[in-house]
Chain A
Amino acid sequence: MNTPALELRGVHKRYGVVHANRNVDLGVERQTVHALVGENGAGKSTLMKIAYGHVRADSGTVHIKGERIARHSVAQSIARKVGMVHQHFMLVGPLTVVENVVLGLEPRRRGLLDLSRATAEIVDLTGRFHLDVEPSARIEDLSVGQQQRVEILKMLWRGCDVLILDEPTAVLTPGEVRGLFETLRGLVADGMTVVLITHKLDEVLAIADRVTVMRRGEVVSEMDGKGLKADDIAHAMVGRPVLLEVDKGPAEVGSPVLEIEDLRITGARGINAVNGVDLLVRAGEIVGIAGVEGNGQKELVEAVVGLHPIDSGRIRIAGRDIAGLTVEARYRAGLAHIPEDRHDRALILDYSIKDNLILGLQRHFTGALDLLRTSAIAERADALIEKFDIRPANPDHLAVGMSGGNQQKIVVARELSRQAPKLLLCAQPTRGVDIGAIEAIHRRMIEARDQGLAVLLVSAELSELKSLSDRLCVMYKGRIVAKFDADDLAREGSLDEVGALMTGAVTAAEVSLGRAGDARSHDLAGDGADRSHSLPDPSGPAQDSADESAVSDGTVKDTVNDRMYPSEDEDEDENEEELS
């Protein structure tokens, strides 16, 4: 009982010049929940992959239940009842739940697979630990939360008594997080040891018996879970006081820049991703969209950029209907866009900093014969690298070799230096970015607002939303379920309300009942003016026809463009990838 369930001694791991882990010692006592906390890139995941045998350390030793493991491999961890739930689920999509659970330890009868007993065992486990999932369902058809339960089932069925969970809550709704924690508590009571990798402080406070904080590959602090305060952990994590408030004057609001009316979008798998959203963002304000990932925010943003087709509704930028415009034309209309995943949408990792700084602006840097104006590109790169403090300050350096924060600075620099941007769309602008870069990016966003840009900020981080937003909308299941203006946000406890709304724990009606008479919360458009976007009348679109004709004159050129690129808006979602 005294030997730790899992122990790491002097673990060192290097990737190139970066020390992912530096001389790390860690002991996990049995039957505890041990939280491993740190910022993105602090080395938590690497450390646990080493503990699990998925990655081998350069030096140092791994001990499982007192036994030193030489030539550590995953198979040895499994044999010693250690299991790991990875951040990206390790589930085989086309296989069923049972098949995934038994994979690697398949029971056989007369040479053939025998899944019947395993199925019964899984049903038993699901009942005991509140892990509700259908054993014969195919993984592909399950929700993310259900898939995570399969991951845990997989480990339980193997009889694991040490369970490592890597950022298990990143993709869960708060309700699912609660369910997960309940399950984990049940498991610990049953004799399990849990290692929880996370960077969310509230989770640590909620469940951890013991906390280890990592920074830059090293363990910087170990503390007891009891009586711990968020501040203590935050200090240890970032090494200096966390910036909670951003200096920001009151918004000087101008005319409408982004107007969205009754927008409906079909997302992946034919589900209604956006279900009748009305939204208004005016010059000089930051409107936040709070929501748990997967509630339609991504589709909303991509629809504005022109990356995702819409079913119905209207989107205007600076008064101009952008339906049917190419992505390029929308940028010319004044759009700037910081996508939620820079590796996915914002950067060509194999391009240099210089070339990434013109992505989306390449037409502005083209001269005669379609030739790129290399000297103009180089000059611009030098200026932006200096202004935004992008490091390394070498315009020919490839983006692939840079830290997340500096990569994001490239994106921010590029988008804010567009010609006359009017609207800035930011989705999760500081995800996976170190604290220094977060501050810089936040400052830039406020600067942009103060210069009169309309800013739409989509984020899952309540603190970020709170410190930046002038107004806030909560998105849940494809709808905007509530809006908060600056006064609402300043009110005590408003963030709790936002949190509750995001998760669907309460409805907007309940919230507004709670603060009866507060008419603002019903004003879904949030602008308080005559235009009533809040509850669109089914016969509504007619009312704006005057507006439409007013702008139609200006769109002739783009209509031509449309015809040249007729396919832009059609979706490729449905195309399965064929590769053989």
Chain B
Amino acid sequence: MGEFFASLFTIAFVAQTLRITVPYALAALGGVMSERSGVINIALEGILLTGAFTGAVAAYESNQYTLVGYEPNPIAAAVIAGALGGVLIAALYGLVVITFKADQIVAGVAINLLAAGLTRYLLKLLYDSASNSPEIPGFETGIFSNPVFWLVVLLAIAAYVLVWRTRWGLRLRAVGDHPEAAHTLGITVNAVRWQGVLASGALAGVGGAWLALSVRGFVENMSAGRGYIALAAVIMGSWRPQWACAACLLFGLAEAVQIKLQTYSIGVPNELTQMFPYILTMITLAGFIGRSRPPQALGQPYDSD
């Protein structure tokens, strides 16, 4: 038992926590971007999965070839491709819910089903495997010397500044709360929403690439509910990027502790500790911990006519 507690105060444990937190945080930041603009983002799960897939494919393929004497960095390729993949599937989501004004919850669920099916389908076509991609290059170093980690930290700070301190952020917040007001001041509501949704695709897509890089490959359904946890973090963080990240850190910490508990075979059932983020979110939603105020126009399509 003492050994267990001692193990929580090590750099390795901190690193472990952060490693787990990164994809949550990226997806949650994406969730904030989209939901602040008024678009519910249940599709985060599917975006993560797509990002993981495109990231893995890019890492693998770039490792196979040299481009005109230049050897591409597979990790950079994965991050970029993850973002692109995320943007692509988010664009499909945006098309359906912003342009065609479909119900955002239904469409989000459908995007998640689509991502699960499509990644498996393409896996089969590309690598003739039903469950996983070939091994890809992954992170070689510890997290603190991993440039991608610092990129993520930078993205988180940028997201904060963007939402609270820039013209774009002000418009994003206005459009999600009172789109008609923004429209009367000449702001194109759906354009801002498109930007929010695409930004969320890029961020969550990078999160997916991180997942693939951490385990050196793509495994079917590897997002495993992380998108939903990120969504939970957005709500817990009251649609503020900084607090959403904090919630992710809390969830990451809980998961890291659970892994430690397992290694020291301390008898807390794994299945029960897994419920922690979900139960916490339900408690928050019910208003037992503080108040969480969603953007008022969340989920309502805007018809500019």
Chain A interfacial positions (CB closer than 8 Å to B)? 52, 54-56, 73-75, 78, 84, 86, 89-95, 99-100, 102-106, 108, 111-113, 154, 575-580
Contact = CB atoms under 8 A, between A and B. Distances in A.
Contacts of B167: 106, 108, 113
Nearest to A86: B184
Nearest to B239: A580
Given A106-B170, A108-B167, A113-B170, A580 B184 contact: no
Given A93-B296, A112-B161, A578-B235, A103 B187 contact: yes
Contacts of A106: 167, 170-171
A111 B181 contact: no
Contacts of B287: 575-576
B234 interface: yes
17 contacts: A56-B305, A86-B184, A90-B181, A92-B177, A92-B182, A94-B173, A94-B293, A95-B170, A103-B171, A103-B181, A104-B182, A104-B186, A106-B170, A112-B166, A154-B185, A580-B234, A580-B299
A108 B168 CA distance: 11
B40 A579 contact: yes
Secondary structure dominating the interface of A: loop
A105 B173 CA distance: 15
B178 A579 contact: no
Contacts of B61: none
A579 B171 contact: no
A95 B170 CA distance: 9
B183 interface: yes
A75 B191 CA distance: 14
A113 B167 CA distance: 6
A168 to B, nearest CB: 15
A111 B165 CA distance: 9
Contact of A99 (B170, B183, B235, B298): B170
B294 A580 contact: yes
| A-B pairs with lowest CB-CB distance, top 8 | A104-B185, A90-B181, A75-B186, A106-B167, A92-B178, A92-B174, A90-B184, A92-B177
Contacts of B305: 55-56
Interface in B59-110: none
Nearest to A158: B185
Contacts of B174: 92, 95, 99, 103
B181 A579 contact: no
Nearest to A76: B186
A52 B186 CA distance: 11
B256 interface: no
Nearest to B235: A580
B148 interface: no
Nearest to A115: B170
A92 B181 contact: yes
B214 interface: no
B132 interface: no
A90 B180 contact: yes
Contact of A580 (B173, B180, B186, B298): B298
B80 to A, nearest CB: 24
A112 B164 CA distance: 9
Interface string B210-227: 000000000000000000
B255 interface: no
Contacts of B292: 576, 578
Given A576-B291, A579-B40, A103 B35 contact: no
B170 A74 contact: no
Contacts of A579: 40, 294, 298-299
Contacts of B166: 108, 111-113
Contacts of A89: 181
B51 to A, nearest CB: 21
Contact of A90 (B40, B178, B231, B234): B178
Contacts of B152: none
Given A578-B292, A580-B40, A580-B298, A78 B177 contact: no
A84 B178 CA distance: 16
B155 interface: no
Contacts of B234: 580
A424 to B, nearest CB: 36
A310 B110 CA distance: 46
Nearest to B161: A112
Interface string B224-257: 0000000100110000000000000000000000
A89 B166 CA distance: 24
B294 to A, nearest CB: 5
Contacts of A108: 166-167
Nearest to A78: B186
A91 B181 contact: yes
Interface string B173-203: 1100110111111110000000000000000
A54 B294 CA distance: 27
Interface string B27-51: 0000000010000100000000000
Interface in B264-285: 285
A246 to B, nearest CB: 40
Given A90-B184, A93-B296, 16 more contacts: A54-B184, A74-B185, A75-B186, A78-B185, A95-B170, A95-B174, A100-B181, A103-B170, A103-B174, A103-B182, A104-B171, A104-B186, A112-B165, A576-B292, A580-B40, A580-B234
Contacts of A104: 171, 182, 185-187
A578 B186 contact: no
A103 B292 CA distance: 24
B161 to A, nearest CB: 7
A539 to B, nearest CB: 38
A105 B178 CA distance: 17
Contacts of A94: 173, 177, 293
Contacts of A54: 183-184
Given A112-B166, A578-B292, A580-B294, A95 B186 contact: no
A79 B162 CA distance: 27
Nearest to A102: B170
Contacts of A154: 185
Contact of A92 (B35, B165, B173, B299): B173
A405 B271 CA distance: 60
A580 B182 contact: no
B163 to A, nearest CB: 11
B177 A93 contact: yes
A52 B170 CA distance: 24
